[in-house]
Every structure is written in C-alpha cells, then in structure tokens.
Structure 1
Amino acid sequence: MSLTLRPGRRVALVGPSGAGKTTVAALLVRWLDPAAGRVTLNGVDVRDLRGDELRTVVGYLGDDAYLFDSTLEANLRIGRPDATTGQLEQALAAARLLDWVRTLPAGLATPVGEHGVALSGGQRRRLALARALLADFPVLVLDEPTEHLDDVTAAELIRDLLAAAGDRAVLLITHRTDVLGDVDEVVTLTPGSREAAPIGAYAGAG
C-alpha cells in the first residue's frame, strides 16, 4: 500500500479485522519495521531516526490509552510537564472536558482511580486525547479510539477528536462508517497474502 499524510488532513483507514490496520499504526510509530518498502517522515526513513525522536512527532492514541492512578492534572502533565494551568484548560476544552472538570469539587486535583476507573469510558478517552493534544504531536494516529463505547458517545468523540486536532495530520483507524463523512480521505485495506507486506509511505509535519 501507499499512504501519505499531510498537515491538516484527516485520513480514515478502514477494513475488516485482519486486513492490517493496526499493523500500519505500528509501522508509523515504529513498533514494527516494514518487511518491504519504507516508512518516511519528511522524506527521512524512520529507521534512521531514534524511537524517541519519532515519537515526539507521531502520537498514538488507541482504545486502551493508559491512565495512572493519580489526579486529572498529573495525567495531563505526562503530555507536557511544564504546562501552565491555562494550557491544561485549553487542552481540556478542546477535548470537551473542561466544563465537566469545573463542576468537580477538587477540579484538576480530582483522582481518576486505577486505570481511570473513576471516569466513564468516554471521559477516559477524552482525557487521553487532551493529554495527546497537550503534547502537541504534529501527527496523531487514532487506532479505534472509540472501541467499547456506545454509538452516540463514539460518534461524538470521533467528531471532537477530528475537530480538536487542528492543523495536525490525523490517521483515524476505525471500523465505523457513520463518521467517514468527517474525514478528507478514506483508505480501505483488504486482507492479502502473508507475502504481501504493507508498504507505508508517510510524510508529516515536524
């Protein structure tokens, strides 16, 4: 396959289970290296970059984004430890969580519990999104970010994800068809043979 991501573009990657969607995500953040072809960042083969260099540019948000057993603020600051309160609130507002946080007696000091158990599924995903936005990755890879959410919550979250991304390049990996009207391009993967290794061609900001 050939895939190009550009700043400000929203690309959806769809296809049946086993088609290779999550493999593409793993290639982009270099959890895997391609068996054939190459993945490039602004023309540079990502195999020539250190993993930590690449992952300051490409942010991954999956369906199981980890939350630490700490406060809302501490979880956010993982994305940017030196963030001001205003920047924290801006990220929460973009993820549509700020109004809710302001209703909490302890505000940003509210504990989230182990693995975010004190939050709803949608709130956990939105907090993870706010953290990713705060980290200011030029490229966001969203791998089934609404898995296990109800249809209404899932559709709202994806639309908010895409809107909050601003001028970032976004790859949305999803099985949902009801949000494809909100993206600029849809790429469909179909299962191939074991010998047909995916080839990722990738260009982004940063």
Structure 2
Amino acid sequence: MKSVSGKRGYTAATMVFAAALCSGNVASAEEYSIKKGEFAGSFETSFFTFNGETVISTIANGSTDKKGPGEYQSQTLSDLTYFSPARYCKSADGQFDGIAFFVSKSRAVLTFKKGQLYLEAGSGSAPVNPDGCMYVDTNDGQNHFELGVTYNVTGGSGKFSGASGSLYSESEGVVLEATEGYVGDALFGATTGKLSGDFCTDCP
C-alpha cells in the first residue's frame, strides 16, 4: 500500500474481514442471502506483499441476519492505492476534505462454524470511481477512512465448498497509531462495517 505521508497529513489505512477453524462437511446446493450483516475488528500493516507493496491485514468478528450463514470471523489482506494524479473526496457527512483511494487487490477469508468463504476484489488497475476516502477529522485530529468494496466469492470449504456469488463490504475506521518506514507507513487502527450480498454453493 503506497503512503502519502507528508501530504496534507493523510495516512493510508483500511478495512476488514477474517478466519478460524471449520468442519469438513461435503457441500450441498444451497443459496444464502445476507441483508444486514455487521462486523468489527482491527487492522495493521503486514509484512505480506502484493506485487512488492505492503498490505493491510484486518481481523474482524461478524454476524449475519437469520437468512445468512451466521456468525463468522474474518481476515483480509488489502493493497490500497492512491490515484496518480491525486483525486480528492469528502467524508460521507460532507464535513471533511480527503484524498481518494482504490483497492488494487484484496483477498479475504470468512470463517463460519461449518465452513469458510474465499473472497477476492481488485483488478490491479485504477477504477473509474474511488473505493474509499481518507481524511483527517479535525475534531480528534486523527486519520479516518470510509471504504466500500465488492468482493467476488471465489470458493469455500466445508458447507460452503464450491461457493460463488458477490458480497459488498462497507466499512469505516480510524488510524490509532502510525509510523513512517522505508516501504511506507506502518499502521494500526479500528474498523466497523456492514456486509451484504448473495452467494450459493454448487450453483447451476
């Protein structure tokens, strides 16, 4: 993830999802719909890289509504990139000016009681519209972000073996600690968000 440290005080950060243990049951064809999923967790800069760029690792716990597959833990690796030339944005409430960024690549694992989902987002190139906005909240002097990402469900294990579909993650968060380094900023912070979408196993 490229940093913009020194430019208007913005620091790059991001979002959520996570993983744990699951059973190895054979999947049957089923459809799932998540309307009101929620999650919360924390993130930090990882030594893992995508194409030489450091990424943000996020761990979170979440739950879905009754029609969804239930409680889960998630882990996400995300490479967030600023546009070149820079593009600017405003916070959702319109109070603060920020700098726009996009998800160059992101991989996530959602771990439910009886299986896991594998998610992927980002094409590696800049999209037409930004995925997120990083800004300084003048009320607390800290860097905040807002992020919306559409993930493709690329597979799964256990009950969700052979899963496919699409999930939308909408999150916001705050950078609590940041240190500059030769490969970019090292970050630590908190995030919350919502998850929605549909997926199925062994879809026709």
Bigger helix fraction: 1
- Determine which structure has the larger strand proportion and give its number: 2
Q: TM-score, normalised by structure 2?
A: 0.23
Of structures 1 and 2, the one with the larger relative CO (CA 8 A, separation 6+) is 1
**TM-score, length-normalised on structure 1?**
0.23
